[in-house]
Amino acid sequence: MCDRTLAGWDVSVALSAPHDLRPLQILGVTTLVTHQRFESINDSGATTSIAITPSVFENNDHIRRVVLQALDQPDIEVTFWGPSIPSHLHVQLARRQYRLSGAARAFKAHALAAAAVPGAAINATEDMYSTEPWYDEASRGPDDDRPAALHKSQ
């Protein structure tokens, strides 16, 4: 999320329950989306990307329906982060590795501390499954220190 905000994206987050907002604010999130607004996210035409954890997808019928609809729209990027995804989505999503910028790692460390996540590791890369190829580490040059979000093909 941080690299996306640093690249100029307007990053919105949908929360299923009230949470401490400081960790999200540290990452640069400016808009919180209500459950009702997330329901109509595919109808607005403004959404270009949805990122979600597999557990939220599997445990929330409303969000799952919206994400499945987004997967049918080629102009919306859908990304799941984490080590695995629901098996029925392997056909639509490819495993990617994303290298976080130094700034993103620093902001993530502060956000995890604010969220009181004990012993959280901040790795240089994160595993994701996405409909878009821009997360691929192979598309970046060895001296390229820009966030990978700037490499998204148009």
Distances (CA, A) of 67 to 15, 31, 107, 114, 120: 15, 19, 27, 29, 28
In sign, the C-alpha dihedral spanning 50, 52, 133, 102 is: positive
* Burial (CB count within 10 angstroms: exposed 0-12, middle 13-18, buried 19+), residue 59: exposed
Look at residue 42 and tell me if it is in a domain: yes
Look at residue 72 and tell me if it is in a domain: yes
Q: Is the pLDDT of residue 8 over 60?
A: yes
Q: Tell me the residue range of the domain where 114 lies.
A: 2-148
Name beta bridge partners: 26. none
What pTM was computed for the model? 0.71
pLDDT of 92-125, one tens digit each?
898 888 899 999 999 999 999 998 987 888 999 9
Helix (H, G, I), strand (E, B) or coil at 93: coil
Look at residue 109 and tell me if it is in a domain: yes
Number of independent structural domains in the chain: 1
Q: Which pLDDT does position 114 carry in this prediction?
A: 92
